[in-house]
Amino acid sequence: MSHNKKKFPECRHCGDGAQTFRYLKSIYLFDIDRAREMIMDGREAIELEPDDVKYSIDDCRIYPEHLDHVETKYPGIIAYYWYPLPDGTVLKGTLLIDGHHRAARCLRDGLPFFVQILTEDESMEIMLKSPDIEKILADLRTQQSPTSELVAAT
């Protein structure tokens, strides 16, 4: 899956190096290249509702000059993430980690936007950085900490 790498060398947003996604001012860092490998297993792509697409891109930096040449045929990728609260509760949410410009183009052009969803284990595997990840993983595995579910629209 090439995602425009080197296809538009004049576009400063068409990268050719390792791809990651940062969230909450780099508190989280996701390995997009590994996530793309994982979704190549033939899993189903699901269509997001336009309101969910809009929500997924509202807080992202979108470069209008990049939109016209992104390939909308590739689905985005949604991952889980966990956020520890001071009281020990761990909130679980979902997040679009790949495909923000494709989503923006689909929304702009009135096209459907599809995503593939990583499992919780896959999401943990591609999460390169997160707050207290070792504690979160230990708590999730041993069920010692209460876990609430925060399901963000994606």
pLDDT tens across 9-66, in order?
A: 565 666 666 788 888 888 889 999 999 999 999 999 999 999 999 999 998 888 888 8
pLDDT score for 137: 61
| 145 within some domain | yes
Assess if residue 93 is contained within a domain: yes
Domain with 127 in it = 20-149
> Quick check: helix, strand or coil at residue 22?
strand
pLDDT at 5 over 70: no
pLDDT of residue 129: 87
In the chain, how many domains are there? 1
Which pLDDT score, from 0 to 100, does residue 141 have?
63
Instruction: Note the pLDDT of residue 39.
Output: 96
User: Backbone phi, then psi, for 151, in 5-degree steps?
Assistant: -100, 100
E strand spans, the chain = 20-23, 28-31, 46-48, 76-84, 90-98, 113-117, 127-129, 147-149
| pLDDT score of 60 | 85
* 95-153: pLDDT as tens digits: 999 999 999 999 999 999 999 999 999 999 999 888 765 666 666 666 544 443 433 33
- pTM assigned to the model: 0.78
Q: How do 28-31 and 147-149 pair as beta strands?
A: unpaired
Distances (CA, A) of 10 to 61, 71, 74, 101: 19, 16, 22, 17
Arithmetic mean of pLDDT, 64-71:
87
* 10 assigned to some structural domain: no
Q: Is residue 2 part of a domain?
A: no
